[in-house]
Amino acid sequence: MAKWGQGDPRWIVEEREDGTNVNNWHWTERDATSWSKGKLREFLVGIVVENEAGRCQISELKQVEGEASCSSRKGKLIFFYEWNIKLGWKGIIKESGVKHKGLIEIPNLSEENEVDDTEVNVSKKKGDGDILKDLMKTAGTAKVREALGDYLKALKTEFTMGMILPTKATATQELTIKKKLSENTLQTQVPLGVRIPTIALHMTELFDTAVERLYSIFTVKDLVQKFSKSPAILEAEKGGKFQMFDGNITGEYIELLTNEKIVMKWRCRNWPEEHYATVILNFVPALGQTELQLDCKGVPVCKEENMKFCWQKQHFEEIKGLLQLTTLNG
């Protein structure tokens, strides 16, 4: 497989102000390596399998070596990925309470093999506990392959958003669909003279923590980096900028009321250029807990499910994991 950046330059279309990839004819290429490493960690770490004899959990991503990319030519997407992955797992035998650790090795996840045929090797440190190893070999392996399938699905959908540019035909279809959408749920913003069909979202989540703690998780750089498991840039003040998840999410703080409310301009990297949604977070105390009320306005219609996934999986669930870890280490 060719290394990223080593393609024939005659066939690579650069992003230029005076050039357009008409009808997706030219070869375009996007590096998915960094994005993939984050997604593999997200989908694999935390997997739990359990039976009457024991309970096991994948606790860490020890190694992920390889690369991934996506290319587009004549309106078709071509995927290249090749990964060597090592995971750490730990388990406990219910009857005795004895704990054991081991490794999971995936030596070759690539486009040449189906996910169900991908080799998954399970090993355990010396000593008893084969019952846990067997659990990981059966139920654990099945869940690992399922997670790898989820990664590939995200690679082929979420990551590739925007790679296939709309042609005149698809633009006409989108316009027809847009006219049919209900005016009660559809809003239209006009950045840079381009009308983008958008939608509003509302989500709520209950957290077992004080409002001050939850507010700080969204405004303190170290805490943001812990729950997002990636470097972050954070200027938690009016007009301040933020960047999270390896640059996949960027924006600006519009309003901050300490322990009460945060208003942000917010966008994903694969959204239409210069298009931002407005995200409003309201922190509501509730008997030792905090209810987080999320309102998003201006989300591109085609990104609705991605937006829900981002907040539910990458924010809410990860923050709850961080809160549990903090409590245990208390």
13, part of any domain: no
Cβ(214)–Cβ(1) under 8 Å?
no
What angle is formed at CA 203 by the lines to CA 325 and CA 253, rounded to 5 degrees? 80
Question: What whole-number distance in Å separates Cα of residue 25 and Cα of residue 28?
Answer: 9
CATH of the domain at 96: 3.15.10.20
pLDDT of residue 24: 42
Q: Are residues 35 and 84 in the same domain?
A: yes
Last residue of a domain, one of 110, 133, 158: 158
Range of the structural domain that residue 142 is part of: 28-158
Residue 197: per-residue pLDDT:
86
Residues of the chain with pLDDT under 70: 1-27, 73-75, 161-195, 327-330
Classify residue 14: in a domain, yes or no. Answer: no
Q: What CATH number did the domain enclosing 239 receive?
A: 3.30.530.20
Is the residue at 16 inside a domain? no
Q: How many domains are contained in the chain?
A: 2
| Same domain membership, residue 128 and residue 241 | no
| 106 CA to centre of own chain | 21
Instruction: Note whether residue 262 is domain-resident.
Output: yes
pLDDT in tens, 39-68: 999 999 999 999 999 999 999 999 999 999
Inter-residue contact 281 to 261 (CB < 8 Å):
yes
Task: Write out pLDDT tens, residues 113-167.
Answer: 888 889 999 999 877 789 999 999 999 999 999 999 999 988 888 887 655 544 4
Residue 235 lies in a domain: yes
Claim to verify: residue 207 and residue 315 sit in the same structural domain: yes
Asked if residue 254 belongs to a domain, the reply is yes
Radius of gyration of the chain (CA): 22
